[in-house]
Chains A and B, each alone.
Chain A
């Protein structure tokens, strides 16, 4: 009975009769170290060569969109945390930003709140990229960088826990404000942390990114041309790895990003071809340096121009009732993995949206896998999968 249950509910796309004599189907997953979550890949192979890859997902599907339809906007924020659970700050910020723009209060948010949001979001971006780089190294056999990166990421998680009370799922950014002001001494601690992090980041460059074995395994593998990436709706580090300078923090210029000085790193094909696995990883690595730069500027502002005062209340603008006028609204933000978009339809009468669709970056990023891994070796499939930095909580939502 158990066997028929499995076959009935989750079939293979390919049948035995579709295959040529030498080909066979390999099931990768549902759980595999190179996917952060549950993903099953149906791989058709001819010896060591990958002929086709069919992703099967939905194992984690926790009905975000259905929940959002039945909950008030501020009650949905904890659910957005759970989409990309390694970058929860960025998710809730994108959602909150959309609601604020719909209410028309996004221009009135005090600068201090915005700078705190940028600070925590960039800290979380570093944490997310550390997971990406560390596990990518682990996917192709390097354990030490992973352990080092997890150690440094833990410092970030502890700091965010200090601010919000939760280790990974924060619910810290609220519509119109923040759950609470930063704890006393957080800015100084952030400064210390940045000074601690810089040499560590340098270490991981020597240990992993410029390592000869690592380059051999990742250079010129899984090459994704920019036009194909755009056609597949891919953005974030994957698109920048393909050489296009496209970052929503610069292009949309939301929040206080226009006041902050930072660069957009792009893949240049330094050791292989533009858009290969190494380039994608390198873009993430360089973005950590840029995030450090942003954090330093935020701390400077938070200690200087927009410093803590007794009168400052981070919840002053939090609306009693969140009821946007009837409209369709699409908002997007630059998450560590790419563009996170929310589509809202509100009717102006209810506290909850009629429809809320999350356009998650990992979902689009995963859809290209069949195209760029056809014809590669089976062992390279893991390099490609790891370089995508997927998060299944976001693919399934």
Chain B
């Protein structure tokens, strides 16, 4: 199935979901409305023509204070059809909140925890949203563009 076909299939099923597309990226990207990500993913996962059964990668991204937005990028892959699709969701930087897809792909559980840990993106309905790589009393989100590392952690100097 080609990118255009997937797009028209989504437009038929969830007419509100697509906000735009990015054809320069590899694989080609659909820009998705944040509210409809869970419905869209579960549709793409279950539909027999797309059957995106694996989530290769989930990336959180901070665009900095100037653009005042954050993004979550989903790399979908369908094993039986050998088909890629990238989904992009743009979030408000002051309130980065999105529905979790960990019910659809269990691998999203840890990837979402990582995005939460390093960028401070919150995932609704996530079963266990804790920090994953950093200790749970760490202050701040290291992959944000304006992150300044703390002077001390538990009275131990951090910066050298």
Cβ of B11 < 8 Å from any Cβ of A?
no
Cβ of A334 < 8 Å from any Cβ of B?
no
Cβ of B14 < 8 Å from any Cβ of A?
no
Q: Which of A230, A326, A354 contacts B53 (CB 8 A)?
A: A230
- Known A246-B79, A327-B24, A367-B107; judge A339-B56 contact (CB<8 A): yes
Q: Are B154 and A65 in contact (CB under 8 A)?
A: no
Cβ of A278 < 8 Å from any Cβ of B?
no
| B27 proximity list for chain A (CB < 8 A) | 330
Cβ of A191 < 8 Å from any Cβ of B?
no
Q: Are B106 and A57 in contact (CB under 8 A)?
A: no
Size of A's binding interface in residues, CB under 8 A: 43
- Known A9-B154, A230-B79; judge A328-B29 contact (CB<8 A): yes
Q: Are B142 and A63 in contact (CB under 8 A)?
A: yes
- Known A58-B133, A58-B135; judge A328-B57 contact (CB<8 A): no
| B24 proximity list for chain A (CB < 8 A) | 325-328
| A244 proximity list for chain B (CB < 8 A) | 79
Q: Which residue of chain B lies nearest to A235 when distances are taken between CB atoms in the complex?
A: B54
Q: Are A341 and B109 in contact (CB under 8 A)?
A: no
Cβ of B136 < 8 Å from any Cβ of A?
yes
Interface centre among B128, B130, B133 (most CB of A within 10 A): B133
Q: Are B73 and A328 in contact (CB under 8 A)?
A: yes
Interface centre among B29, B88, B107 (most CB of A within 10 A): B107
Bitwise, B29-67 to A at CB < 8 A (1) or not (0) is: 100000000000000000000000111110101100000
Q: Are A66 and B142 in contact (CB under 8 A)?
A: yes
Q: Are B133 and A233 in contact (CB under 8 A)?
A: no
Q: How far does the alpha carbon of A371 sit from the alpha carbon of B109 in the complex, in Å?
A: 13
Q: Which A307-352 residues have C-beta < 8 A from chain B?
A: 325-330, 332, 339, 341, 343, 345
Cβ of B75 < 8 Å from any Cβ of A?
yes
Q: Are A367 and B56 in contact (CB under 8 A)?
A: no
- Known A9-B135, A65-B143, A328-B26; judge A367-B79 contact (CB<8 A): no
Closest Cβ of chain B: how far from A324's Cβ, in Å?
11
| B55 proximity list for chain A (CB < 8 A) | 233
Q: Which of B62, B106, B131, B132 contacts A232 (CB 8 A)?
A: B106
Size of B's binding interface in residues, CB under 8 A: 39
- Known A8-B137, A396-B133; judge A330-B57 contact (CB<8 A): yes
Q: Are B56 and A330 in contact (CB under 8 A)?
A: yes
Q: Are B75 and A330 in contact (CB under 8 A)?
A: yes
Cβ of B22 < 8 Å from any Cβ of A?
yes
Q: How far does the alpha carbon of A149 sit from the alpha carbon of B84 in the complex, in Å?
A: 38
Cβ of A101 < 8 Å from any Cβ of B?
yes
Closest Cβ of chain A: how far from B13's Cβ, in Å?
22
Cβ of B82 < 8 Å from any Cβ of A?
yes
Q: Are A327 and B105 in contact (CB under 8 A)?
A: no
Cβ of A11 < 8 Å from any Cβ of B?
yes
Q: Which of A63, A231, A355 contacts B106 (CB 8 A)?
A: A231
| B133 proximity list for chain A (CB < 8 A) | 57-58, 61, 396
Q: Which residue of chain A lies nearest to B62 when distances are taken between CB atoms in the complex?
A: A355
Q: How far does the alpha carbon of A61 sit from the alpha carbon of B138 in the complex, in Å?
A: 14
| B73 proximity list for chain A (CB < 8 A) | 328, 343
Q: Which residue of chain A lies nearest to B130 when distances are taken between CB atoms in the complex?
A: A13
Closest Cβ of chain B: how far from A214's Cβ, in Å?
30
Q: Which B68-94 residues have C-beta < 8 A from chain A?
A: 73, 75, 79, 82, 84, 86, 88
Q: Could you show 12 A-B contacts with beta carbons less than 8 Å apart?
A: A8-B137, A8-B154, A9-B137, A9-B154, A330-B86, A341-B56, A341-B57, A345-B61, A357-B57, A367-B106, A367-B109, A396-B133
* 4 nearest CB pairs, A to B: A233-B107, A328-B25, A58-B133, A359-B57
